[in-house]
Chain A
Amino acid sequence: MEYDLIIIGGGPAGMTAGIYSARQKMKTLVIAKAFGGQMANKSVDIENYPGFEKISGFELIQKLEEQMRNKGVEVFNDEVVSLKKENDVFSVSTKSGKLFQSKTVIFATGAEPRKLSVPGEKEYVGRGVSYCTTCDGPLFNNKVVAIIGGGDAGFEAAIFLNNYAKKIYILEYGELIRAGKDNQDKALSSGKVKIITSAELKEIKGEVFVKSIIYKDKKINEEKSLEVDGVFVAAGYEPATHLLEGLVDLNDKKEAIVNFETLETKTSGLFVPGDANFGKVKQIVVACGEGATAVIHAYKYLN
């Protein structure tokens, strides 16, 4: 079966594209592992999405997903493993072995948590190492955890984990904490949080589950160990664009190069809205706007 449009990704750009494509009566399929994108991992309320004084990421995802589904958009929950274009037809394959085809594609995979690339990280994913605080945080009730990254995401994770963990270390690579004062105050108010700056994570160790981390204290150039049960990674995000290689020009950060008027890439009929492109403003509302723009231009391309 051939679709007019396949939308890959279920973050704000992808879901808004779904809503707009339904309104344009385009035969559309949305393929996403899950809905929400980075909003799924947002552990404090969103306060800058128009129409809501404040709303949790979880609630906003539910509202967007319902709005999209109520318009009759077809959804397939799975991971996309390849994207090709031959003879003006896009072929999209998924991890479970499905193949879908379409005339246009909106690639809205956004960004994914940056890996730490230290020994033990891969081995202990799901066994103490987590990239989703909102999902896995509640499993660390009365445990000791480390958050890697002293930016706002790290402190927001600490605010959330204050509800569960008994002790929280925040490790920041730089000499200074980068998080805003408000997030720092909220995180520190519990008295459970200890901040360690100039800390370079070297290794995650354990047996079946994580038991400790090793970091270098760069102030004295000495390696130290901390006993922890969990490691929450908050070291920023990187664009999830590896499937675009060959079809789209990527910059040195692996962000997709697009025409910002249309969000189209050098491959005609292939659009990249949201955090996967090289736009400098990474915001939910911008991703939504770009999702809408991409659909309108995909519609023009088809007609």
Chain B
Amino acid sequence: MNKVRLFSTPICPYCMTLKRFLEENGFEVEPIDVSSNEEAQKEMVEKTQQTTVPVLEINGNWVVGFDRKKICELLNISD
């Protein structure tokens, strides 16, 4: 079972695109709003050393931005 977490902000179109892509491939994710969840923001920034969204955590692997190739590899999506 894949564990997927999406870190986003409320009006980030890139985050929405990534969410839709995951849903279309059968992965339902509830975005974590890092603007209101300080703990999640801290974790995201510490793990990625980045202050930008969207960020995905897939089974402990952190992906910054919509890196299609990497996300497909980590989730075994045939593209």
Complex Cα spacing A95 to B16, Å: 20
Task: Looking at the assembled complex, report how far the CB atom of B54 sits from the nearest CB atom of chain A, in whole angstroms.
Answer: 8
What is the size, in residues, of chain B's interface with A at 8 Å between Cβ atoms? 26
Q: Does A164 contact B (CB under 8 A)?
A: yes
Q: Does A24 contact B (CB under 8 A)?
A: no
What is the size, in residues, of chain A's interface with B at 8 Å between Cβ atoms? 34
Q: A78-B68, A95-B68, A96-B72 are in contact. Are A139 and B13 (CB under 8 A)?
A: no
Complex Cα spacing A135 to B54, Å: 8
Task: Looking at the assembled complex, report how far the CB atom of B16 sits from the nearest CB atom of chain A, in whole angstroms.
Answer: 7
In chain A, positions 110-145 with a C-beta closer than 8 Å to chain B are 125-128, 130, 132, 134-141
Q: Does B10 contact A (CB under 8 A)?
A: yes
Residues from chain B with Cβ under 8 Å of A56 in the complex:
11
User: What residue of chain A has the Cβ atom nearest to residue B68's Cβ?
Assistant: A96
**A36-77 CB contact bits vs B (8 Å, 1 = yes)?**
100010000000000000001010011000000000000001
Contact for B13 among A40, A137, A138, CB less than 8 A: A40
Whether A136 and B13, one on each chain, are in contact in the complex, defined by CB atoms closer than 8 angstroms, is no
Complex Cα spacing A126 to B65, Å: 10
Most buried by B among A35, A96, A97, A137: A96
Q: Does A208 contact B (CB under 8 A)?
A: yes
Complex Cα spacing A58 to B51, Å: 21
Residues from chain A with Cβ under 8 Å of B72 in the complex:
96
Contact for A230 among B12, B51, B64, B66, CB less than 8 A: B51
Residues from chain B with Cβ under 8 Å of A81 in the complex:
none
Complex Cα spacing A130 to B64, Å: 14
Q: Does B76 contact A (CB under 8 A)?
A: no
Whether A139 and B34, one on each chain, are in contact in the complex, defined by CB atoms closer than 8 angstroms, is yes
Q: A77-B21, A127-B50, A135-B52 are in contact. Are A96 and B79 (CB under 8 A)?
A: yes
Q: A58-B13, A135-B14, A139-B34 are in contact. Are A97 and B21 (CB under 8 A)?
A: no
Q: Does A33 contact B (CB under 8 A)?
A: yes
Task: Looking at the assembled complex, report how far the CB atom of A296 sits from the nearest CB atom of chain B, in whole angstroms.
Answer: 27
Residues from chain A with Cβ under 8 Å of B41 in the complex:
139
Q: Does B49 contact A (CB under 8 A)?
A: yes
20 new A-B contacts, CB < 8 A, other than A34-B16, A62-B16, A132-B14, are: A33-B14, A34-B14, A40-B13, A40-B14, A61-B13, A77-B21, A78-B68, A94-B68, A95-B68, A130-B51, A132-B12, A135-B9, A135-B15, A136-B9, A136-B51, A136-B52, A136-B53, A138-B34, A141-B38, A208-B49
CB within 8 Å of A: which residues of B?
9-17, 21, 34-35, 38, 41, 45, 49-53, 64, 66, 68-69, 72, 79
14 contacting pairs across A/B (C-beta < 8 A): A34-B17, A40-B14, A58-B11, A77-B66, A78-B68, A98-B79, A134-B12, A135-B11, A135-B14, A136-B51, A139-B34, A139-B53, A208-B49, A230-B51
